[in-house]
A and B are shown apart, each in its own frame.
Chain A
Amino acid sequence: MTDFLCKVEGLQVTFPHRNGDFVAVHGFDMHVKRGEIVGLIGESGAGKSTIGNAIMDLLSHPGKVTGGRVLLDGDDIVQKTDKEMAYLRGRRIGMIFQDPMTSLNPLMTVGDQLSETISVLQNVTMQQARVMAVERLSGVGIPEASDRMNQYPHEFSGGMRQRVVIALAMAGDPDLLIADEPTTALDVSVQKQVLDLIRSICVERFLGVILVTHDMGVIAQTTDRVYVMRHGKLIETGASAQVIEAPSNQYTQDLIAAIPRIDLREERFRNPPKKTGEIDKWLLENKPSAQTGDFLTATALEMDFATRKTTFWGKGSGFRALEVPDISIARGEVLGLVGESGSGKSTLGRILTGLMQPTHGTVSFTDHGPLTQVKSAAARKALRRDVQVVFQDPYSSLNSRMRVDQILAEPIRFHGLAERGQINHLVGALLERVGLPADAGRKFPHQFSGGQRQRICIARALSVRPRFLLCDEPTSALDVSIQADMLALLMELRRSLGLTMLFVSHDLAVVRQVSDRVAVMKKGVIIECRESEALFDAPENDYTRMLLETAPRARVCS
């Protein structure tokens, strides 16, 4: 027996490819002791999940371990046969995946999945396994466990499902638990509970835990030691507090500096360097003459979603998704809209931009009148030119069959905003304005990274010279360092072009950096709406306070 429960030495993972092999992990070393949570952090593509999968021998095809050793209690498990590895999985090493919505079999009850696993791993009968399953479910904090045994995964909330997943991963009482982004798909308040649960299991059962994440806040909150990865290589390691407070490596320093702070509105997001100015004159041609007053107001908004009709003649019962008595956005203002999933923040954003019809209530634009009166084709076209959207997922919001210059030129041509001969020049200037090379237009969207694509989406929104921009979680799909660039770009554009913005996000720290005023939503109702700084410094509502307290922070004090 060695001191280390699990020790990784010089691990190399290769994905063979016809254009040469891609080495996802180069000579990686790490170790985990019992009773310790070790963090593995890096941005997308850093190879952090690959290490977890390599230890489990669950690398996706065609990846394989091409060097190094993985020692479990001194025993090299890389050399083991498939059969021996299958025996170790669940019994010695457990694993939790990122998305609790997809890691459970949708067609089996939670109880059946858990008792099946227990009966296989513990060698007991199904009856005994069912009794144990109830205990295990209550053990991970699921109330009324014996009733919930007969429910299907879709009847559980995200946080509860992740608890079930943890119970399943722990069914064979493993010594090592690999948690691959276990809270990324969860709301902040739930995230804290799940991390606390992992922490307490680790302590109670004297378990070694490898926590793979991209979120420095999670590392700070949960782990004892951390390994920072980049491009498949180990960059820095040490005690979590030490690495976060005083990172020695430049990359780690940049990574930590890029995290928006929930406790402070930072200057760097407000005054980034301005890149080009020539296109701004064109973009400002649609600037409204009035600079004060409301850009839009909405009153008595209600939105009901009908649940599906169950009979041919029946009427589905309604579900009140939104109830907002009044909300307005001033010209040139950035209104932040925060809330957990299902709070109705995206629905409100869509209603305010006319993408969705409210059941009751009116949305009225100062420049265009009430939305219900905008009926003629010309009036609609004018409204849509003024109101643009940047969506969450830059992968699915660009047409992959169109070249980037076609994507940008189409709205300009549709709205007749420039002479035919000018369009190419404008597209190039727009791309440069959002920080891409002018010749990027000749490529297709798939040739760009996530951050670059989001820049293309912003350029597309700008191409019609809008006055109002709805940003619906524009940075949620991006890495922190890219998120920082994106926020800086948006803020700079807003200042130069006098854009009015509605910024929807679940991330309180991000919202603080960009918003003048913030509205907090819960279950379809705005529970607090005030000046951003005042709200973050002294929240009045208990729910707001709870959200602020549970949000993971990289730096505990500053």
Chain B
Amino acid sequence: MQFLIARLFQAAIVMLCVAFIGFLVFQYIGDPVLALVGQETTVAERDALRESLGLNDPIIVQYFRYVANAIQGDFGISYSFNREVSEMIADRLPATIELVLLSGVLSLLLAVPAGIYTGIKRKGGIAQTIMALSVIGVSVPSFLLGILLILVYSVWLNWLPSFGRGDVASVLGFETSLFTLDGLRHALMPAAVLCLFQLGVILRLIRAEMLEVLRTDYIRFAWARGLPARHVYLGHALKNTLVPVVTAIGLQLSSLFAFSIITERVFQWPGMGSLLLHAIGQSDIPLLAAYLIFVGLIFTISNLLVDAIYVLIDPRIRHGAR
């Protein structure tokens, strides 16, 4: 428990640092007043605006005001859309989260069994084929794969729609496309593209860990005392491969958000990624800063979760032993 409290405290510090960087973006990339006003505004009017926006206060005061607002969900107003940034993120976030979740679940469902299988039967033909395919998954760029999928399934076969999010249904107050057939049809290809890289990485990691664990004494002892294969592989070996695998999945989860930028672009998916690209194009600094903080938050939370899962998996961490 103390371990988790300490981690939580560290996470808060990390978030303050991320927020500071986000805030510095405001300070040093362009002059917000210049961006707000037109050509005809007089110097006096600009100074008044500067004063009313609090831009003449010391940096540290501005920083804490920014953090205080951010905690309450207020990230300012987007320059290019003239809307609350928080509102825009709330609009776009569900789309990205559902994409990331779908591809994450998809990759885990495929990677864990495939990783275990290739770890156990490493010489078999099927295992060799899976390993060869996983190299392709890791090395083919996701935009290329996306375009290929569109070509095959949308243009030639006309099975799946090539862009957009499709119908959405409201579940627990969120708009999601995961609960309508049309929505799922739209989400399938982007999620598949997004999951392929993760799939290759996690699969290879689980296989490597599995090979490692199967050589240990406690697995040999498990065989020697007559436990059936199912118990040895799934009960004893798999759990021992999990600590490094959970670490990797935590990091991968964060990178899914990063990769989603490209995938969303290819499939015209209305999520955070396309919002970011737009913000970069328009130098929309409040939006950029909010995105930065938001990504930082995702990384921090996923690492926090990873630490919590460690504690659940490994009693040696729980008891502070070596």
Contact = CB atoms under 8 A, between A and B. Distances in A.
Contact of A117 (B5, B225, B319, B322): B225
B218 A90 contact: no
Contact of B228 (A120, A169, A312): A120
Contact of B240 (A56, A95, A106, A155): A106
Contacts of B223: 58, 86, 89
Interface string A293-318: 00000000000000110111010000
Interface string B294-322: 00000000000000000001111001111
Interface in B1-15: 2-3, 5-6, 9-10
A168 interface: yes
- Chain A CB count within 10 A is highest, among B3, B226, B240, for B226
B217 A102 contact: yes
**Chain A contact residues: over half helix, strand or loop, or mixed?**
loop
Contact of B221 (A91, A97, A312): A97
A463 B236 CA distance: 49
B228 to A, nearest CB: 6
A120 B222 CA distance: 12
A165 interface: yes
A58 B236 CA distance: 18
A124 interface: no
A102 B236 CA distance: 13
B121 interface: no
A109 B223 CA distance: 18
B83 interface: no
A484 B224 CA distance: 35
A152 B217 contact: no
A116 B313 CA distance: 18
Interface in A429-455: none
B5 A90 contact: no
Interface residues on chain A, size class? 35 or more
Contact of A105 (B5, B6, B222, B228): B222
A107 B239 contact: yes
Contacts of A120: 226-228, 231
Interface string B257-301: 000000000000000000000000000000000000000000000
Please report whether the interface of chain B is mostly helix, strand, loop or mixed according to DSSP: helix
A306 B9 CA distance: 22
A358 interface: no
Given A102-B218, A105-B236, A310-B6, A154 B315 contact: yes
Interface in A72-122: 86-91, 94-95, 97, 99, 102-109, 116-117, 120-121
A310 B223 CA distance: 37
A308 B224 contact: no
B9 A312 contact: yes
B6 A312 contact: yes
B315 A107 contact: yes
Contacts of B10: 312
Contacts of A102: 216-218
B218 A104 contact: yes
23 contacts: A58-B220, A90-B224, A95-B221, A102-B216, A103-B218, A104-B218, A105-B236, A106-B314, A106-B316, A108-B235, A108-B239, A116-B227, A117-B225, A152-B316, A152-B319, A154-B315, A154-B319, A155-B319, A168-B221, A169-B224, A172-B225, A311-B6, A311-B9
Interface of B: 2-3, 5-6, 9-10, 216-218, 220-229, 231, 235-236, 239-240, 313-316, 319-322
Task: Please provide the 5 A-B residue pairs with the shortest distance between their CB atoms, ordered closest to farther.
Answer: A90-B226, A95-B224, A102-B217, A89-B226, A152-B315
